[in-house]
Structure 1
Amino acid sequence: PNPANSTPLTTLGFLDRAATAYGDSPSIVYNNVSYTWLQTHCRCLQMASSLTSLGIQRGQVVSVVAPNVPSMYELQFAVPMSGAVLNNINTRLDAHTLSILLQHSESKLVFVDHHSSSLVLEAISLFPRNTKHPQLILIDDEMVSSGSKSTSSTSHFLDHYEGILEDGDPKFKWVRPKSEWDPMVLNYTSGTTSCPKGVSLSHREIFKKTMDALVDWSVPNQPVYLWTLPIFHANGWSFPWGMAAVGGTNICLRKVDHSQIYHLVQQHKVTHMYGAPVVLNMLSNSPDLKILDHYVQILTAGSPPPAPVLAKIELMGFVVSHGYGLTETGGIVVSCAWKQK
């Protein structure tokens, strides 16, 4: 192989295509904030540019501690577009575990949601003496939604997310992988069976996993996807990149709440969503439970939901699929295929 006939596989190019093919279509919707694919493309390039200006180099780790807000989605592209390795961290960890992960990954910079700022600062305080700390950038989506200045203290942070982004170049030439085997993401297992284990996935693996997920779930062009699955959980099973590939609309959700889910499903005519069995149980027992005016594809994973829950939620208009995956595999690896009978 040579550059003339072998381009490294990477999902990052999906964003370039989305900006061209679906430029005027909505990419992200969150509260009263919405972006088109052209705007998302520009914002990701700006952030990637800013990261390189901050001294982030190819192969260095950049971490994110945040829920499913627009900036979290953008960073799935922006961080690897700068040449860095993306490290999404579970927001539910305690400070001790978080400190271990930040030290083990040798993270150079951490994006921190304002609700997790005290947790991350405590984790940093547990670093050994004379150990260099990663730089911190504060994510405050409430500031973006309201259009007002943030009230959060920035004394421990370089700047807010939007401030860093504004300094970037929207025409930045993003850093392409030298090889499709170059690492793109670094994930950690939840530590349920032992100490958390680091899992490095290459551009090639993420590309394969994304395409597998789209084909296996028969995802059409321009779906409306509700983010009930945490993106920090195995990179949202690769669907941040998958939604760019098909020009979908990402409906962001900070917190899983049954009434909010039903409201967003109806308001935005959601077509696809993920949900652990506990989410299905929550929806089936919600006081807001009612028959939907359109079908919604919902993919669940882990242990199969109880039969009464499946029967109840399918009666409401949810079409349930089931699969299983691991952090080590980057998402779903086996699934139950629907058959026409």
Structure 2
Amino acid sequence: MEQKVYRTELTPLSFLERSALIFPDKTAVIHGERSYTYQEMAERVYRLASRLRALGLQKHERVAFLCPNTPALLEAHYAIPAAGGILVAINNRLSSPEIGFILQHSGSKYLFVDHEFFPLIEALNLEQLTQIIRIDDSGAPEDPYEQFLAAGTPEPVKSWLEDEEETISINYTSGTTGNPKGVMYTYRGAYLNALSEVIESGLNSSSIYLWTLPMFHCNGWCFTWGVTAVGATHVCLRKVDPSHIWELFESEKITHYNGAPTVHIFLAHHPKAHRLEQQITVTIAGAPPSPTLLAQLKQLNMRPIHVYGLTETYGPYTVCEWHEEWASLPQEEQARLLARQGQGYVTAERARVVDPNMQDVAWDGATMGEVIMRGNNVAKGYYENPEATARSFEGGWFHSGDIGVWHADSYIELRDRAKDVIISGGENISTIEVEQTLVQHPAVLECAVVAIPDETWGNAPRHL
């Protein structure tokens, strides 16, 4: 194939190469008492990649990791694709049978397991695996993972990447019914989404990012690559401990962290919570945050960025971009506007809200329809599941299954999951709207609204 001077394949691995070149002595990773510079991080990544190559890893073979947010899992996001493999970062909150299914379905050849989660695999049939590597997460020479790295070489391995649309990772969704589906991310999609995260969250080389969001979740919303892209610092975290996090905010001078509303609620209501001297940018997604929570975060000197997406969209796909004119509005109104899901990222197409015939609903903030997306920030399908891929991508768009409305300013706002809308007496009731009303009461910290059978209305809402 003729070499094109004007094109190279997009790959997030280039982010580490660049930061190791430009910021070799800058701190890349902090994990407790340990830290690594960008040069050291790159060498560890290359050791892992070369070791897997030496053991016979073939192009596109799957390598699974079952870990908390430790340096090993961060390194895997670079080393596995550098070696030519496909990363399968497994949700460590799953049961043993679910983990077993993912290992079998993905056909993973290698499995790296943190010591904390070894009991989850002890009863599984792992005959298809070539090797299991234990990670003690000590950084000591006797740690099996460190021994594995020591057997590799610190020089880059020759890239096998030919097309940026090749699969870089498979992320398994946890559905409420049936087995998890493996969502395939491409090098191109991961690269572009990572850059969008940089843009939307305002990351730069002075940023210090705290890993409160699981790296196994949509590859950490691609922040695993985005933080590195600008030479910022990763602060790893084995578990979400609000007390410890409040200490890290100040001891490590944290500038950014991400999480679902529950994580932010824990932090906002912790006894150590106080207004910060240095503002922290907090990206919030996973479930629609209440205006009440957004207002509380701002009072703590946290700048909330509200984003929305799914595993099938590399994590965040839309962002509720702030408008300067909102600053003159009452705090309650600001929070209400910020609670909307907004519109597509810089690298994404406009999200749509459509009726069952795929026609746009009215931009009136009231007519409900399904949120659909397509483009750079949509995964290329489900691994070994063409039927599910065809269903989700019907009509050339990804069907989210989320129900929302479209406002006159082009911003979308979620009302519910399609399966969660409560139909009572023939009327649709949005559980999100009821929940957001309830949490306005000072005695309510968090709530969930579900449907229960009702003799008169068929269904009726009930809060938990």
TM-score calculated relative to the size of structure 1: 0.91
Q: CA deviation at 1:2?
A: 3.6
Q: Does 1:223 align with 2:224?
A: no
Residue 155 of structure 1 corresponds to none
Confirm or deny that 1:322 pairs with 2:309.
no
Q: Distance in 2 between matches of 1:28 and 1:113?
A: 18
Q: After superposing the two structures, state which structure 1 stretch, 179-188 or 214-223, moved more.
A: 214-223
Decide whether aligned partners of structure 1 residues 120 and 134 sit closer, same or farther in structure 2, where only a CA change above 3 A counts.
farther
Q: Residue 220 of structure 1 aligns to a residue in which SS?
A: coil
Structure 2 counterpart SS, 1:298 = strand
Which structure 2 residues correspond to residues 107-122 of structure 1 after superposition, within 5 A?
A: 107-122=108-123
- For structure 1, the residue ranges without an aligned partner over 5 or more in a row are 151-159
2-side partners of 1:192 and 1:236: how far apart?
22
Q: Which among 262, 265, 269 is matched to residue 246 of structure 2?
A: 262
In structure 2, relative to structure 1, the CA distance for the partners of 1:339 and 1:194 (3 Å cut) is farther
Question: What SS class does the counterpart of residue 123 from structure 2 fall into?
Answer: helix
CA distance in 2, matches of 1:206, 1:83: 16
Contact kept? 2:109, 2:128, Cα under 8 Å: no
Residue 4 of structure 2: aligned partner = 4
**Which amino acid in the other structure matches residue 81 of structure 2?**
P
**What is the identity, as a one-letter code, of the residue corresponding to 1:140?**
D
Following superposition, the deviation at residue 193 of structure 1 comes to: 4.8
Where do residues 40-189 of structure 1 align in structure 2 (5 Å cutoff)? 40-123=41-124, 125=125, 131-141=127-137, 143-144=138-139, 147=140, 149=142, 160-189=144-173
SS at match of 1:121: coil
Cα root mean square deviation, aligned: 1.5
**Equivalence for 2:366:** none
1:167 counterpart letter in structure 2: A
Distance 2:285 2:51 in 1: 37
Counterpart CA distance in 2 for 1:38 and 1:148 is 19
Question: In structure 2, how many angstroms separate the alpha carbons of the residues matched to 1:196 and 1:11?
Answer: 26
Q: State the shift of 1:122 in Å.
A: 2.1
1:235 pairs with 2:219: yes
CA–CA separation in structure 2 for the residues paired with 1:308 and 1:210: 29
| C-alpha contact 2:141 2:147 (8 A) present in aligned 1 | no
Contact kept, 8 Å, 1:12 with 1:81, in 2: the verdict is yes
Aligned match of 1:157: none
Q: Deviations 1:247-274 (Å, cap 9, x if unpaired)? A: 0100000000111111111011111110
1:209: how far off? 1.2
Give unmatched runs, 5+ long, in structure 2: 326-464
Give the distance between the partners of 1:122 and 1:329, measured in 2 at CA.
Answer: 33
Quote the residue 2:447 is aligned against. Answer: none
| 8 A contact 1:44–1:78 mirrored in 2 | yes
**Distance in 2 (alpha carbons) for counterparts of 1:313 and 1:329:** 26
Report what 1:156 is aligned to.
none
Q: Higher relative contact order at CA 8 Å, sep ≥6: structure 1 or structure 2? A: 1
For residue 97 of structure 2, give the secondary structure of its aligned residue in structure 1: helix
The Cα shift of 1:149 comes to 4.4
Paired with 1:7 and 1:187, the residues of 2 have a C-alpha distance of 26
Distance 2:301 2:178 in 1: 39
Letter in 1 for 2:149: L
Q: Is structure 2 residue 174 aligned with structure 1 residue 190?
A: yes
- Per-residue CA deviation, residues 139-165 of structure 1 (Å, 9 max, x unaligned), is 111x22xx4746xxxxxxxxx110010
* 1:43 aligned counterpart, secondary structure: helix
Name the CA distance, whole Å, in 2 between partners of 1:148 and 1:44. 17
SS at match of 1:333: strand
The corresponding residue for 2:40 is 39
Q: Percent identity?
A: 37
Q: CA deviation at 1:179?
A: 1.0
Whichever residue aligns with residue 97 of structure 1, its letter is E
Contact 1:48-1:174 at 8 Å conserved across structures: no
Residue of structure 1 equivalent to 2:258 = 274
Distance 2:272 2:245 in 1: 10
The total of aligned residue pairs comes to: 324
Other structure's SS at 2:324 match: coil
Once the two structures are superposed, what CA deviation does each residue of 1:154-200 show, in whole Å capped at 9, x if it has no partner? xxxxxx11001001110132424111111111111012354211111
8 A contact 2:83–2:157 mirrored in 1: no
